[in-house]
Amino acid sequence: MTTSLKIHGQNVIVSGGPIKVGRLEQEWYEDVAKPEDFIAPLTRGPAKADIFTFWQRLPDVTPRFAHYMEQEHIAALPITTYDNWFNTQIKSRTRGVIRKSAKQGVVVKEAEYTDDFVRGMTSIFNETPMRQGRPFWHYGKDFDTVKRQFSKYLFREFLIGAYYEDELIGFMMIGLAGPYALIGQIISKISHRDKGTNNALMAKAVEICAARNIPYLCYLSWGAGSLTEFKRRNGFEMVSLPRYYVPLTATGRIALRLGLHVGVLHFIPDSALTRLKRLRTAGYRAAYSLRYRNALVADGEL
């Protein structure tokens, strides 16, 4: 269950099970100037929390607060010029994919949020019910739902579309977060996977950021697996940011001592977690195979 409240003009969400954790709803876009201002409001009312967590945003990586701190790893791409990125920050294999994409006729450009663009988004979302071995969150949504949900933050975003023979086959939504840009969505049609669409989208994103003098492009957390390899091949690096945890209750203090503030998955060895993910994927495939067999074949899941 998640509850929310506004503290000094900033939206705070409180979520979790036995241990309630509060944080800024828009922490990628907003800073916590005075953590103490959040403590009292979070210890009373329906949104009472056990722990308040916040971090310092890029490029502010030197710890500035006395609260308990851990390092949180994000994926960030330092940007100077497009030529520097293309010639020195990525490998020859990635450069080849980008060149091949253009030769195959993929046109990548900044786009507007028109009805045609939304129809293209909806088509991409409804191509397959599963992506990366899990049910796809946006599968089954209709035009009106997609248009409404993805228009919420257009005031701070720019869009990039990848087109093949006038068909939208991939897109990016990139948020402007002050000292950096943040990739909110990057997705392309699996039926056009041979065209290196996501790499072409990334290249255009770097070109735009360089032209706007945006020094960093961030791509959420740094983890493991194929997505992280994609980030690495496109020049992203692991950057460690200070994340603070302020216990507000006795439960919060105990949770910090026992390391429970980061969740139970933190205690599972990577090898075991990998096996569990494979079992989860197999279960999803079995559950979805009868209903969505043709779509799963298109996704390479069957």
Beta-ladder partners of 242: 71
CA distance 17 to 1: 8
Summarised one tens digit per residue, pLDDT across range 124-143 is 999 999 887 788 889 999 99
What does the pLDDT read at residue 44? 83
Judge contact between 140 and 88, C-beta under 8 A.
Answer: no
Average pLDDT of the segment spanning 164-171? 98
Query: What does the domain layout of the chain look like in residue ranges?
Result: 3-68+243-267, 76-238
Judge contact between 246 and 67, C-beta under 8 A.
Answer: yes
Residue 198: name the closest of 157, 148, 236 by CA. 236
Angle at 51 between CA 47 and CA 55, to 5 degrees: 110
Query: In CATH, which superfamily holds the domain spanning 76-238?
Result: Gcn5-related N-acetyltransferase (GNAT) (3.40.630.30)
Average pLDDT of the segment spanning 176-199? 96
CA distance 211 to 103: 24
Judge contact between 50 and 19, C-beta under 8 A.
Answer: yes
What does the pLDDT read at residue 135? 86
Residue 52 predicted with pLDDT over 70: yes
Measured CA to CA in angstroms, residue 128 lies from 145, 161, 227, 251 at distances of: 17, 20, 18, 43
Summarised one tens digit per residue, pLDDT across range 230-277 is 999 999 999 999 999 999 999 999 999 999 877 655 556 666 656 666
CA distance 36 to 32: 10
Q: How confident is the model at residue 47 (pLDDT cuts 50, 70, 90)?
A: confident
CA atoms within 13 A on the CB side of 21: 15
What does the pLDDT read at residue 106? 98
Q: How confident is the model at residue 300 (pLDDT cuts 50, 70, 90)?
A: very low
Summarised one tens digit per residue, pLDDT across range 9-35 is 999 999 988 899 999 999 999 999 999
CA distance 235 to 227: 13
